[in-house]
Structure 1
Amino acid sequence: MPSLFDPIQLGAIQSPNRILMAPLTRGRADKQAVPTDIMVDYYTQRASAGLIISEATGISREGLGWPFAPGLWTDAQVEAWKPVPASVHAAGGRIIAQLWHMGRQVHSSVIGGQPVSSSATATAGEAHTYEGKQAFETARPLTLDEIPRLLEDYALATKNALAAGFDGVQVHSANGYLLDQFLRDNANFRDDRYGGSVENRIRLMREVVERVASVAGADRTSIRLSPNGESQGVNDSNPQPLFVAAAKALDEIGIAFLELREPGPEGTFGRTDVPKLSPAIRQVFNGPLVLNSDYTTVDAAQAAIDRGVADAVSFGRPFIANPDLPARLRSGAPLAESEMRTWYSRGPEGYIDFPALETAAA
């Protein structure tokens, strides 16, 4: 069996190890979703990851409701992103952009209009806004004649990601966001070709990935799914046939890799008793399979690879306080801890002020 520290081919991208950096929302862009200079340092510090998957990045104002998150739909955003991949590449790293449409998980005060979703539903709880937390609003269903426009939004964001220098893209289809709202039956009540049957509910996901792959190439296209358990109010009554069908469709497209966020009963965030579906998905998806959620040790990650269910593991929160995480995992050094209060704050504290192992030791 390969080691966590062995190289792996992820489509067109040669990764020197199997320790990927998972997408992590950090809120350091400006109000126009334009990346800021501090983000160059942040990503460059983490260039030793086998592959960096960027923080979730909006494909449009309609789809981006998280305060101070970055986008990829304007020229100004593209120009501001360019130093990030350039610096990561100069440091020997690889980085792809995660493309994000939040669907109903936004507030009109941020996006300037009513949220959209698969159906007229609302998430329980409150949305993050520039004016503090506000109750989620009922979304309106996307109409059939809006779907081509949505696909073009994904295509433009993909084109812009490549123009900014990213090595590829990942479609965010997990965690209760727009594509997940179409996939799962407690949020999708449509009676057209995008609702009802499993085949219909995976249709938009497949069309988005096909459109993105037509721009970036399938070998530079990946996707993230969250197949087991509730996520931000989105769930499914029978997830296995749904996500096995989704994985089979993705395999037919020939994407670079599939990432699965799979929390368990002991998870820090999104814990669930719903069995993990990666073994079933492994039977129909023949490309590299990347597992994510609450991996913090070499032993746990290596065990997933040894079982043959994973080809690589993406680490999330450990990368916040450990910019040189692969070196720390290889050496067995203790991991530093981050503080939640700085995860989404605006400045360098808790963002670029964590020292690498050698500096910390000195």
Structure 2
Amino acid sequence: MSSTALTSRLFEPARLGSLHLPNRLVMAPLTRNRASADGVPQPIMATYYAQRASAGLIIAEATTPNAVGQTYPDIPAIYHNRHVAGWRRVTGAVRAAGGTMFLQLQHGGRIGHPDTTGLTPLAPSPVAFPDPIHTPAGSRPGVVPRAMTVAEIRSTVAHFAAAARRAIDAGFEGVEVHGGNGYLIHQFLSEVTNHRTDAYGGSAAGRIRFAVEVVEAVADAIGPARVGLRIAPGVTANAMREHDIEHVYPALVGALADMGLAYLHVVFADPAQPLFHRVRADWPAALIANPALPWPTPLPADGGRHAGERLLAAGADLISLGRAFLANPDLVERFRRGAPLNPVRAEYWYGGGELGYTDYPVLAAAEERAPALA
């Protein structure tokens, strides 16, 4: 074991709202498409998450707060009692393994399709997703979404709050509101996808309004110390474009800074960028930073550890990693020992059974096989 592993801040305990976490490594939310067709988490998902319970915090995969918000087939939901029951099996297994979980709430907005939901997607403006979308019937062109009325905006805010209450009932310690990666809240933030001329569009103050109202409603529903927000300034995932991140994100952070939230989660954070330091200076609570590069950029051999260490040194409080946790259930222990990491099998990311999901070996199993392989 190296002295670097012994002294790393990654293994120090951390505080998140009212929670005391054993280390600063967070399992990022990762869509895996292993729920049932109607969004119920399946037993294999309990196994998957329990295997990774040594993470300081697990943020469970993107979960839809209402039917029209569903993005892809077989993603989980949290708007019906059957969804709550399915998630209880997951949180119970993780708690029994010593882990702590938040649930990410994600509304797809224009990234949805009638072939999946039977519904026309809703978005800030009728701007179609330009790329093909995966549906139960295969890849289909994106459709023009219907611009949300003010009444639909308000009902969607209420759906987020109701989903948060259900998440707590399902055994989660809190929720993360997904405000990035091109989904509904991000669509409101960008002038490219938000052409509204009412109070929810136009200036930065108008475009952040929906995000602020969602977070406020969720915080009112379950308490602000149980709520995090994920943002992705300038990230181009899902055909997203933004031209004024230096105005929008400081305005958003400033509007939420005094709310007493558990954390802010910055995706693809870069300590070389001034905006990261501006956000860190303006945000008074825990900051989770995700250093990963978007697919298909290869995962670094160290799983992102070095980049995470840089972000901790630059002011982040916790580091979230995705693909590294996907392929290494015991990532924390591998980092502690300086052990090699399992390769990621991308062909099994989305959908299927245990292959590439619950069958990644842990160190003990790998070490038992080592003599036979030598």
What TM-score, normalized by structure 1, do the two folds share? 0.94
Which residue of structure 2 lines up, in the alignment, with residue 251 of structure 1? 257
Q: Map Cα deviations across residues 205-224 of structure 1 (whole Å, 9 max, x no partner).
A: 00000000111110000010
Q: Are 1:242 and 2:248 counterparts?
A: yes
Alignment of 1:186-335 (within 5 A): 186-262=192-268, 275=273, 277-294=275-292, 296-308=303-315, 310-335=316-341
| 1:105 lines up with 2:111 in the alignment | yes
Q: Distance in 2 between matches of 1:2 and 1:118?
A: 44
CA distance 1:276–1:63, change in 2 (3 Å): farther
Shift of 1:283: 1.6
1:356 shift after superposition: 1.3
CA contact 1:2–1:305 (8 Å) conserved in 2: no
Return the alpha-carbon distance in structure 2 between the equivalents of residues 201 and 98 of structure 1.
Answer: 22
Q: 2:163 aligns with which of 152, 157, 160?
A: 157
Judging by fraction of residues, say which structure has more helix: 2
Overall identity of the aligned pairs, in %: 39
- Preserved contact between residue 263 and residue 287 of structure 2 (Cα < 8 Å): yes
- C-alpha spacing 1:297/1:110, structure 2 compared with 1 (3 Å): closer
- Work out the CA distance in 1 between the residues paired with 2:182 and 2:90: 28
Decide whether the 8 Å contact of 1:119 with 1:189 is kept in 2. yes
Q: What is the aligned partner in structure 2 of residue 49 from structure 1?
A: 55
Q: Which residues of structure 2 form unaligned runs of 5+?
A: 1-6, 293-299, 369-374
Deviation string for 1:185-205 (max 9, x for gaps)?
111000000000111110000
- CA shift, 1:341, in A, is 1.0
Are 1:58 and 2:56 counterparts?
Answer: no
- Residue 83 of structure 2 aligns to a residue whose secondary structure is helix
What is the Cα deviation at residue 297 of structure 1?
A: 3.6
Q: CA deviation at 1:358?
A: 1.4
Indicate whether 1:7 and 2:5 are aligned.
Answer: no
Partner of 1:349: 355
Report the AA paired with residue 283 of structure 1. A
Task: Report the CA distance between 1:121 and its aligned residue.
Answer: 0.3
Aligned AA for 1:305? L
Cα separation, 1, equivalents of 2:61 and 2:363: 24
Contact 1:228–1:277 at 8 Å: present in 2 too? Answer: no
Partner of 1:269: none
Is the CA contact (8 Å cut-off) linking 1:228 and 1:276 kept in structure 2?
no
Query: Where in structure 2 are the equivalents of 1:112-151 lying within 5 Å?
Result: 112-151=118-157
Superposed CA offset, 1:100-128 (max 9, x none): 10000111111111111110101111011
- Corresponding residue of 1:25: 31
Give me the whole-angstrom Cα distance separating, in 2, the residues matched to 1:322 and 1:173: 27
Structure 1 Cα separation of the partners of residues 177 and 24 of structure 2: 20
Aligned length: 352
For the 8 Å contact 1:21–1:51, the answer to whether it is kept is: yes
Matched, 1:75 2:81: yes
Q: Are the equivalent residues in 2 in contact too, given 1:182–1:201 (CA < 8 A)? A: yes
Structure 2 match to 1:267: none
Structure 1 residue aligned with 2:188, among 177, 182, 191?
182
* Shift in alpha-carbon separation, 1:276–1:109, aligned structure 2, 3 A: farther
- Aligned letter for 1:244? P
In structure 2, the partner of 1:337 is 343
- Secondary structure in 1 matching 2:360: coil
- State the Cα RMSD in Å: 1.5
Instruction: Check 1:81–1:353 CA distance in 2 against 1; reply closer, same or farther (3 A cut).
Output: same
Structure 1 residue 252: Cα displacement: 1.9
**For residue 129 of structure 2, what is the amino acid of its counterpart?**
T
Q: Secondary structure at the match of 2:237?
A: coil
Q: How far did residue 345 of structure 1 move? A: 2.4
Counterparts of 1:117 and 1:171 in 2: how far apart (Å)? 17
- Inter-partner Cα distance in structure 1 for 2:60 and 2:305: 22
Partner of 2:295: none
Residue identity in the other structure for 2:312? I
Aligned equivalents of 1:317, 1:323: Cα separation in 2: 11
Cα distance in 2 for residues equivalent to 1:304 and 1:97: 24
Counterpart CA distance in 1 for 2:266 and 2:185 is 14
Other structure's SS at 2:68 match: coil
The aligned residue for residue 271 of structure 1 is: none
C-alpha distance in 2 between matches for 1:284 and 1:2: 26
Quote the offset at 1:293 in angstroms: 3.5
Gaps of 5+ in 1: 265-273
